[in-house]
Structure 1
């Protein structure tokens, strides 16, 4: 199986560190790229601006509370773009708002996960992401 390309869209340095460390424990070999603003993520996923030759990721982990453009705006842009619309997007956010959850699902997010505060709980999150990817990938083959 090829290396899983993950795009993490997150502006909080602490959350970037926790998430990348947790993802390193995945059984699936992966490579993580990080973008810190919604605007950068939209440009990257729609391949505009400086990112016109970027290789699209296999999976996007997206925070809702981002500078410039929020995660819901990024999700809408990803899902409305022909090149990126089929890429699974997991909302990984501190928000537990029912409104955010409903909006994410309406915009076709694959999963909505509220980020845990404790590092040991991140293992559970990684297991969820890994199981999602294995099931998603199995459906493709």
Structure 2
């Protein structure tokens, strides 16, 4: 069975490290690829590999809202606008509990909105449950064509 890949879109190095540490402490078998901005995320998802083929999509995207340059909501909008990524599971993982951010995320088609816990133990538990659900319990959507 192919190991799952999670794409983390996070421009804060400390938060990226916290996510990496929390995931490593779980029993979720996944590779975490990290990009630091919205444009990098779109290049990852829509770009070609060195041999000209499309990169396989990750099983899950964890998307921060507060990115430098292109916002997480803009990234989500672009993901949902393309047929190839329209059904890709995206979870907003952010510090914002602003009601307008939550509403905008769901209006744009996010699958889940999670506020980042501040302490490592709680964050590890969130990552464990998130990984188990999205990578093992959930039936993934069929590929778009």
Note closer, same or farther for the CA distance 1:69–1:123 as it changes in structure 2 (3 Å cut): same
Instruction: Please name the residue that 2:25 is paired with.
Output: 25
**Alignment partners' CA distance in 1, 2:141 and 2:78:** 24
**Alignment partners' CA distance in 2, 1:49 and 1:72:** 26
List per-residue Cα deviations over 1:1-54 (Å, max 9, x = no partner). Answer: 431110000000110110011111332311111000111112222227989743
Q: Which has the higher contact order (CA 8 A, sep 6+)?
A: 2
Higher helix share: 1
Q: Which runs of 5+ in 2 are unaligned?
A: none
State the TM-score, normalized to the length of structure 1. 0.88
Q: Which runs of 4+ in 1 moved over 4 A?
A: 48-52
Instruction: Please name the residue that 1:130 is paired with.
Output: 131
Q: Retained in 2: the 8 A contact 1:6–1:33?
A: yes
Q: Retained in 2: the 8 A contact 1:46–1:77?
A: no
Please give the residue correspondences for 1:43-58 in structure 2 after superposition, counting only pairs within 5 Å. 43-47=43-47, 53-58=54-59
**Alignment partners' CA distance in 2, 1:6 and 1:79:** 17
Q: Which runs of 5+ in 1 are unaligned?
A: none
Equivalences, count: 140
**Alignment partners' CA distance in 2, 1:62 and 1:139:** 19
Q: How far does residue 68 in structure 1 lie from its aligned partner after superposition?
A: 1.3
Note closer, same or farther for the CA distance 1:6–1:38 as it changes in structure 2 (3 Å cut): same
Please give the residue correspondences for 1:3-22 in structure 2 after superposition, counting only pairs within 5 Å. 3-22=3-22
SS at match of 2:139: helix
